Amino acid sequence: MKKSLILVALMSSYAVAADKGFVTIEGEHENIHGSTNDVRSLNIIPGIKLDNGYTFDLKTQIQSKKDDQTVSGNIEPRVRYDYKIGMTDLSVWGRVGLGEKIDNGANFGYYTVEPGVSYALAKDTKLFISDRYRDSFADGKGYKTNTIYVGASKNLTDVDTLGLKLYRKYNDTESNGVEVAYTRWF
């Protein structure tokens, strides 16, 4: 948790140099293979995108499992860096995060690493693919996963973006999911 607080402090210190602030709201549905206990999630992600390629955000998540009605949450400060390849519409990026899983007193820390590629199909439309690796700092938590994301986003206006992601998760958890996102830029 201390590592997460340090990242939040770093995010706050960069707010002065922010190019654009944003808040993203994501709704997610995950179908766990071999189970009827699907997971529904709501993610709220405030952040800052700097004009030097860095993005700092804080992903907060509330999850509910369909069958047993258990509720859990995550909080994950993240840092992303985007690198545009020459004069092309192609960008490579990487994101890292340190998080805390909050689950009925069985809390534990985890980390994420996510490389990705984005392509600007048009001025207001982007396609992307990424592979997020996640694991806990504690043994035996069943939190080691890779998640392949494929998605698109479209700028509806100068300050409104709508996104859609499809994903496949494997390793400790096997699942497929869909995520719909709305971002408001400030």
Name the residue ranges covered by the structural domains of the chain. Answer: 2-185
In this structure, which CATH number among 3.60.15.10, 3.40.630.30, 2.40.128.130, 1.20.1250.20 belongs to the domain 2-185?
A: 2.40.128.130
pLDDT of residue 14: 47
Per-position b or e across 115-138, b if 16+ CB within 10 A of its CB:
ebebeeeeeeebebebebebbbee
Mean pLDDT of the chain: 90
Q: Are the beta carbons of 48 and 18 closer than 8 angstroms?
A: yes
Q: Are the beta carbons of 112 and 133 closer than 8 angstroms?
A: yes
Cα–Cα dist 137/34, whole Å? 27
Residue 185 has pLDDT above 70, yes or no: yes
Task: Give the model's confidence band at 69: pLDDT under 50 very low, under 70 low, under 90 confident, else very high.
Answer: confident
pLDDT of residue 150: 98
Bridge partners of 47, per DSSP, are 22, 57
pLDDT of residue 2: 54
CA nearest 84: which of 93, 71, 76?
93
Cα–Cα dist 99/59, whole Å? 9
Task: Give the model's confidence band at 141: pLDDT under 50 very low, under 70 low, under 90 confident, else very high.
Answer: confident
Cα–Cα dist 42/28, whole Å? 6
Rounded to a whole number of angstroms, the distance between the first and last alpha carbons of the chain is: 29
The three-state secondary structure class of 132 is: strand
